Amino acid sequence: MNEKLIAFDRLLGIMDDLRTQCPWDKKQTFESLRTLTIEEVYELAEAISIGKPSEIAKEIGDILLHVVFYAKLGSETGDFDITSIINQLCDKLIYRHPHIYGDVKVSNDRDVADNWEAIKLKEKENNQEVKTVLGGVPAGLPALIKAHRIQDKARGVGFDWEEKDQVWEKVAEELEELKAELKHGNPENIEQEFGDLFFSLINAARLQGINPENALEKTNKKFIRRFNYLETQTIQKGLSMHEMSLEEMDIYWNEAKEQEKSNKE
């Protein structure tokens, strides 16, 4: 047995021990672990955005623990176990990669993604599931991520702009519609137009090969860095942000921007 299998077998053995001997682990159910799993996924996402390999590895381990825990729970009810989970996954990966395990030809990653979506729809049809292109988008996804997945799935069946630059006309159109509604002052209509503008901007990001969730998170972090610098500088100088003008605060904000430029250089 190679070291990978030895390590995985060790983890399965520890999970067996915890389930039978630890009071906390013995009480857990699918439902009780659900929110904890969601937290772990977000912690992994944070570690990835920071870019620290040791933290990424740690968070992947935490998620692996949850996978093994769910497998253990399934084995206790007789519904599934770690072996059936892995075999089912392997079968799916082989089936959905006919360009590797079959005779399908692809030119790039977009061809692979399009084939993947087509195969998933065929699987639903074979299983007599309701065949909808967007049916596979989880309802519980955060809105920004959901919008990106919706657009990506629609693209998979050809519902997309012929030229990616065409989307900017749509962005401009949605912005003008928002400005018009702002003049009328109807909160519901304004909210709807904001949503339409966000959706079109997410579409523009997708067409540029930019993940909008990652882009926005980087901007969030950039704002936090600059705001923290502004706050630190004002405290050190005995100033109160509440009593400062926006122009005065902009001085420190611009200093933070200059520092970031210097660090990049």
3-state secondary structure 26-69: HHCCHHHHHHHHHHHHHHHHHHHHHCCHHHHHHHHHHHHHHHHH
Write the single-letter amino acid at 66: H
What is the model's pLDDT at position 106? 85
pLDDT at 126 over 90: no
Across all residues in the chain, what is the average pLDDT? 91
Going by the DSSP 8-state scheme, the letter that residue 135 receives in this structure is G
Write the single-letter amino acid at 247: E
- Which CA distances in Å does 243 have to 32, 48, 107, 151, 234? 48, 38, 60, 46, 11
Q: How far apart are CA 107 and CA 112, in angstroms?
A: 8
pLDDT at 127 over 70: no
Largest Cα separation within the chain, whole Å, is: 71
Give per-residue pLDDT as tens, 7-45: 999 999 999 999 999 999 999 999 999 989 999 999 998
Burial of 230 (0-12, 13-18, 19+ CB in 10 A): buried
Report whether 63 contacts 10 (CB < 8 A). Answer: no
Going by the DSSP 8-state scheme, the letter that residue 4 receives in this structure is H
pTM over 0.75: no
Q: How far apart are CA 141 and CA 187, in angstroms?
A: 25
Q: Roughly how many angstroms between the first and final C-alpha of the chain, as a whole number?
A: 49
Q: How far apart are CA 145 and CA 185, in angstroms?
A: 29
Write the single-letter amino acid at 96: R
Which domains are delineated in the chain? 3-91 (1.10.287.1080), 96-131 (no CATH), 137-210 (1.10.287.1080), 214-264 (no CATH)
Give per-residue pLDDT as tens, 168-179: 999 999 999 999
- What's the pLDDT band for 109 if we cut at 50, 70, 90? confident
Higher pLDDT pick, 135 / 8: 8
| Percentage of residues in the chain having pLDDT higher than 70 | 96
Q: What is the mean pLDDT of residues 43-66?
A: 94
pLDDT at 57 over 80: yes
pLDDT at 66 over 70: yes
What is the model's pLDDT at position 81? 97
Tokens of 30: 């699918």
Tokens of 83: 């072996």
Going by the DSSP 8-state scheme, the letter that residue 245 receives in this structure is -
